[in-house]
Chain A
């Protein structure tokens, strides 16, 4: 069966460019998460959606980061005016519902900002 997919898998941006990262969660999964993983580190929580509602965006590093999930399925993470410190792997995960359930992760998008 189809898992979580993300696109693009790799993105190179010049500093100051805007980027948009896409996540297709597992069909029917209510919860969707974005994480940022720096090289050699564990993922760090960015934001959480329950259906189309963004219930927690406390992990977004700055107001240059914006996420949406308008129809409760596909989600987009947008980074405006990218900076070098934004270089990381951005992971998307989905789960069937809340309640401390297993999260299924996508392969991630590796963003490199030059």
Chain B
């Protein structure tokens, strides 16, 4: 069974708009990570946020973490067609190694 659930399941936006994806999880975590998966390819790591952090930035990405609500959000600003992909959150569920993935958000950025 999967730890996290992403919301929405699918998102379609116009190029240049911002995209926000949410992730909820169930158990205590040490960190939470976001990954991107393009069609037919493996997962690419985007950003890791530790449980004692509330917000983190990387380029056009902004991630927030609210451990009291067991939720995280990923914001992509000024989206591009190349951002079209599936986005997954993954938690460690308190372990030191394995990742527990959510079901993902499929993002479509229309040119």
Contact = CB atoms under 8 A, between A and B. Distances in A.
Interface of A: 4, 31, 33, 35, 40-45, 48, 50, 55-56, 59, 91, 93, 95, 98-100, 102-108
A98 B44 contact: no
Contacts of B88: 42-43
Contact of B99 (A45, A56, A98, A107): A45
A99 B44 CA distance: 19
B103 A41 contact: yes
Contacts of A104: 45
A105 B33 contact: no
Contact of B104 (A41, A93, A108): A41
Interface in B4-42: 4, 30-31, 33, 35, 40-42
B101 to A, nearest CB: 3
Interface of B: 2, 4, 30-31, 33, 35, 40-45, 48, 50, 88, 90, 92, 96-104
A33 B100 CA distance: 12
Contacts of A95: 97
B90 to A, nearest CB: 8
B98 A48 contact: yes
Contact of B97 (A31, A40, A105): A31
B97 A98 contact: yes
A37 to B, nearest CB: 8
Given A41-B104, A42-B2, A103 B99 contact: yes
